[in-house]
Amino acid sequence: MAPNTIILYHNPRCSKSRAALALLQVRDIKTKVIPYLTEPLSREQIQTLIRQLGITSARAMMRTNEPEYQTLDLAHADEEKLIGAW
């Protein structure tokens, strides 16, 4: 990957993700788009992202209002289950 390339973990169904991609394109910023719904991240990639973002839980990266979150009963899940749900 070229230096100064932004990685965008993209969900085309998400308006904020689409807006972020559009903004990067308009500003002609080098971007590597990873469609994480069709190219799931590995456990190691998720753990790396958690560290890089300085957050304490994968839950902070989850869309907790999505039906899948409810269906998988993730509201009280431990970190291992949260990461496995990706």
Residue range of the domain that includes 4: 1-39
* Predicted model pTM: 0.77
**Residue keyed to tokens 């753990």:** 47
Give catalytic residues, as residue numbers.
14
Q: Are residues 9 and 21 in the same domain?
A: yes
Kindly state whether residues 35 and 18 are assigned to the same domain: yes
Same domain, 53 and 35: no
Are 34 and 53 members of one domain?
no
Predicted confidence at residue 86, as pLDDT, reads 75
Residue 58: how many other CB atoms lie within 10 Å: 21
Q: Could you read off the pLDDT of 61-77 as tens digits, one per residue?
A: 998 998 999 999 999 99
Let me know whether 2 and 15 are in one domain: yes
Q: Residue 18 is which amino acid? A: R
Kindly state whether residues 46 and 33 are assigned to the same domain.
no
pLDDT (tens digit, 9 = 90+) per residue, 17-32? 999 999 999 999 999 9
Q: How far is CA 78 from each of CA 55, 70, 75, 84, rounded to the nearest angstrom? A: 15, 15, 9, 10
